[in-house]
Each structure stands twice: as structure tokens, then as C-alpha cells.
Amino acid sequence: MKISLIALVIAASSVAVLTGIVAAKEVAKDVLRPGSVSRSEGLKAWNRIEAVVTHPRCANCHVDAKAIPIWTPAGETKPRVHGMNIHGGESRKGEEAVPCSTCHMTSTQANEPAPAPPRAGIDWQLAPVAFIWFGKSGAEICAQMKDPKRNGGRDAAGLVEHLRHDASLSGFIPRGWAPGAGRTTPPGSFEEHVKDVALWGAAGQPCPN
């Protein structure tokens, strides 16, 4: 039993290392040389980024410290307070009352059939308090995303790495474009979003006035 358990741990660690290596290679390929993109092109990239991060698929979980989730059920287009009095609590996972995992499974299976609760490859949870932006203006979100004190300590390349790492885990970000039938999706695609974040970073992360 001990040998099997050790083998399992080693195998899991190997997968994690390989996943990290793949993600790192993707980031190296994505990141552009600082200054290689003009400010005007960077602002255009930001406009596309803004359209993604303010879309319900992305913004609904970036709620304030009250931790009350927002949702946009299948067949609807406008965000509203999550039904059933769901509350994320200080844990941001609902552990204090009804855990998010009660309905939202951790699974890489497709979000079907509609209107099944969306699932992802990592545990379902609200975004950390540091990443609150639901209801903020594009300029406010832009200033927040470029500020390491409010974005998890990330520089421009770190934001691209965040996207690739999440994708390597089949996390929330890429699955925002595959939420299941009947649900709206952000404009473009995940790969286009990564490209725009890299362009914006290379332009010096310009923000609208």
C-alpha cells in the first residue's frame, strides 16, 4: 500500500512538473519584447481585453468582499444575484454554509447538458478579494490589472503566465468560452485573449483616460 501511495504521489508530481514546463514554454512563446508594440495598438488590445473581463462569464465571480456571487443562467444575458441565497463567505468557496462544490463539480468534462452548472478542472470558487472588479469601469479595471499590489504581484509577463497556467489546469478562464449551451460567451477566443494581454503588456500596459 505504501509503495502504491508513493508511486501515486511521484506520478502526480511528475504530471505537475510537466504541466508547468509546458505552460512555461507557452508563456515564452507568447510574451513580446517590451516596447515592440505602440501605445495606440496597446490601447486597442486593452479595449478587446476589457470586453472580455467585463463579460458576465468573467466578471460574475469577481465580486466584492460581501462574497455574494452573481450569475447569468442559461437562456439569460444579464447578470443577477445568484439564486438560492448562495454566499461565498470569507473562504470565497462557500465553506461556511453551502460549498460551491455542492453544485459545481471539479471536472474537465464539457459543460453539458444545458443548463447543468458549469464545471472546471479546478475547485469552484470566487476570485480573491484582491481581484474584485464586477461593476467597475474599464479604466478602473485596467489600473487594477497593471498594479502588482492588486493583481497578485504580477508584471505584464506574469499576467500571460497566469492565463497559461489556468489553461493548463482546465481552469475557469479558458472554459469561459465553453460554458455550455444556452450561455453567452466573451468575444473572440481564449487564444486571442492571451495574444491581446501580451500585446497590451508589450505596449507598456496603457490605460484609457
Longest Cα–Cα distance of the chain, Å, equals 62
C-alpha cell at 34: 517590451
Q: C-alpha 196: how far from its chain's center?
A: 15
Query: Where residue 21 falls among pLDDT bands split at 50, 70, 90?
Result: low
Rg (CA), the chain: 18
Residue 18 has pLDDT above 70, yes or no: no
pLDDT digits (tens, 9 = 90+) for 40-91: 999 999 999 999 999 999 999 999 999 999 999 888 889 999 999 999 999 9
- What is the average per-residue pLDDT within 171-188? 94
pLDDT of amino acid 115: 84
Q: Is-contact 186 52, C-beta < 8 A?
A: yes
pTM: 0.85
CA distance 107 to 8: 20
